[in-house]
Chains A and B, each alone.
Chain A
């Protein structure tokens, strides 16, 4: 009679919010990025990621994120523009949304 009442952790990922973008989408230029991580920290959709650098100190510790490897996931980005506003290197630009690219 009752379905399972407890939801799976992170099950909201099945809800693709990409089509919420109306006017703009970010473009990560990947030219002057210093891997400060700010865009990733502040994205309200938790949809920015980066490639970690290869393990470099031989002890298994990550030496930081890779410069110019940050990008966003169009499946979830709502186009708020916060990432572009915080980037200290102006390395993210908000460009016109292309309906053909608008996944979700």
Chain B
């Protein structure tokens, strides 16, 4: 057994990208950390009372208020004069972050709390049965965006909310996207974030074999393909400006789509796949993702 702050015996599905990413995050932050968790898969599978997988103080209150509770924790630590020795991490899923928890998160970012907020983006409300969220990508089959017969019903008709840009627009010192497919890069970003004072936001692409309908052994590969097609750009912003981007030799989006059941229906709708390729192409242009030369 290697030493970890996120222990075995949790009840995530086999191959869960979020359980992998959550361990990488807390291990990168280290033992002097307090974690506040929104409701969602991670909260449920890591704290089956009276068991806990966490090796650090951890608290859960509601689905939407992790950022608000963390703001209180950080204020208390400041009052006690311990602000420089304890990290506070608030974390939640994409639904808890970009939809119902957005107000609490915005307040936390605006008030300037010294907190790292981590969004584990598995692109749907997985814990309650794969409903669409604001971070569900275009075309995905979820239980609330089911594809049917004909082009009128092709899965999710809305585009992914630009959450990293929304966080960045608050003028905070650090925003990054990361991926379970690039574990070392994710841990580097967490370490960098906690070394910076003020509010930080990291959004981690975290494959969900159950909701995305991919083989459990593909978790890393699927996450990598999202980055390598340009659909999930890995970017860092420091003080509002892009400070790093992972460059790619772009692969066609089909390579990413075809390994996941949630996009299976699109292979009968080639014009929809074209639209998804346009999303990737726009990202590649906008963020300068293509390797030059």
Contact = CB atoms under 8 A, between A and B. Distances in A.
Interface of A: 3-4, 7-17, 20, 40-50, 73, 75-76, 78-82, 84-86, 94
A76 B70 CA distance: 31
A12 B10 contact: yes
Would you list the 6 A-B pairs with minimal beta carbon distance, nearest first? A81-B217, A12-B9, A80-B15, A78-B14, A15-B9, A7-B52
A15 B46 CA distance: 11
A32 B143 CA distance: 44
Given A44-B20, A84-B217, A85-B218, A7 B9 contact: no
Nearest to A15: B9
B55 A10 contact: yes
Given A17-B11, A46-B6, A10 B54 contact: yes
A10 B47 CA distance: 10
Chain B interface secondary structure, helix, strand, loop or mixed?
loop
Contacts of B2: 40, 46, 48-50
B1 interface: yes
A15 B52 CA distance: 10
A82 B7 contact: no
Nearest to B221: A85
Contacts of B19: 44-45
A84 B1 CA distance: 18
Contacts of A73: 1, 8
A18 to B, nearest CB: 10
